[in-house]
Amino acid sequence: MARYQIILAYDGTHFLGSQRQAPSRTIQGELEKALRKLGWDKQTVYLAGRTDTGTHANGQVAAFDLNWGHGLESLRKALNTNLPRDMAVREVFLAADSFHPRFDASVRHYRYRLFCDEVRDPLRERYAWRVWPEVTDLTPLAAIWMGKHDFGAFGTPPKTKASTVRTVFFASWMHHGDEWTFDIQADAFLYRMVRRLVYVQVAAGQGRLPVEDLVRALKSSPVSTSGIGKNGKGHNIPSSLAPASGLSLVEVRYDNLLK
């Protein structure tokens, strides 16, 4: 018996998120079905993080215990043979028996893609948010999120009354043609935090939300127990979200571990 760490990629369009929710189709559920065909008899696989319905990934991390005597490459091929076409195991590693992809993670990296176009584009919108009216320069807004802040106005903690403080190590907007890409790396994220951060930045870029409100929201704790809505100084932060289709989990990094 050994613990394995795998890197998963998936198109989240037809999944009800990553976390198992029987009888719905989920990433965790499909991975566990594939493992059972290889003789896996445990109760659950562990994921680095939960992704929303419709969210994609090329760097999701999962771990599981399995009796397997045919090598790492053979395990990767066997899993991919039994996984649906919108999922794939990119890499397989041996991990320490104590390894947990969620609790041992030190950095998580998400990427959000959008494009500005007045006319809908069905193919592009599968993996990006079509925004109109056009946004002004979003580049300066990324610096707002850098550092350690209470992000309670922009997301919900995984458990009631849990901390909403997170540390953002990197945030950046890149612009090419009519496309914008937002990359953000942090120690952890609140539930739906990245999608809300993108939404409020687009709202600011369209002139619908003062940039000052974003800054003030980070400097005062939210009044709302859900962590969404008015912050301590009464400034409204929209509860709306950028569509899940534009979001991808790019990478999860681990200190002092193989991955």
Share of the chain above pLDDT 70, in %: 92
Q: Is the pLDDT of residue 50 over 70?
A: yes
The answer to whether residues 210 and 217 touch, using CB atoms and an 8 Å cutoff, is no
pLDDT digits (tens, 9 = 90+) for 118-130: 999 999 999 999 9
pLDDT at position 236, please? Answer: 75
pLDDT at position 224, please? Answer: 40
pLDDT at position 232, please? Answer: 41
CA dist 76 and 6 (Å) reads 8
Confidence of residue 255 (pLDDT cuts 50, 70, 90): confident
Q: Output 226 or 196, whichever has higher pLDDT.
A: 196
In CATH terms, the fold of domain 2-95 is Alpha-Beta Plaits (3.30.70)
Tokens of 86: 């919108």
pTM of the model: 0.92
Do the domains at 2-95 and 107-253 have one common CATH topology? Answer: yes
Q: Is the pLDDT of residue 231 over 90?
A: no
Q: Which residue has the tokens 């309670």?
A: 152
Q: Is the pLDDT of residue 227 over 60?
A: no
Q: Is the pLDDT of residue 228 over 70?
A: no
Name the class of domain 107-253. Answer: alpha beta
Q: Is the pLDDT of residue 234 over 60?
A: no
Among the listed residues 154, 171, 160, 175, the one whose alpha carbon sits nearest the alpha carbon of residue 218: 154
Q: Is the pLDDT of residue 235 over 60?
A: no
Give the DSSP letter of residue 31.
Answer: H
Q: Is the pLDDT of residue 39 over 70?
A: yes
Q: Is the pLDDT of residue 258 over 60?
A: no
Contact partners, residue 177, CB within 8 Å, separation at least 6? none
Give the DSSP letter of residue 135.
Answer: P
CA dist 52 and 233 (Å) reads 30
pLDDT digits (tens, 9 = 90+) for 150-201: 999 999 998 888 999 999 999 999 999 999 999 999 999 999 999 999 999 9
Tokens of 178: 């009519």
Task: Please report, for the chain, the start and end positions of each structural domain, with discontinuous segments joined by +.
Answer: 2-95, 107-253
| Catalytic residue (choose from 52, 104, 150, 213) | 52
Q: Output 5 or 257, whichever has higher pLDDT.
A: 5
Indicate if 121 belongs to the active site.
no
Q: Output 253 or 231, whichever has higher pLDDT.
A: 253
pLDDT (mean) for 107-123: 98
pLDDT at position 22, please? Answer: 82
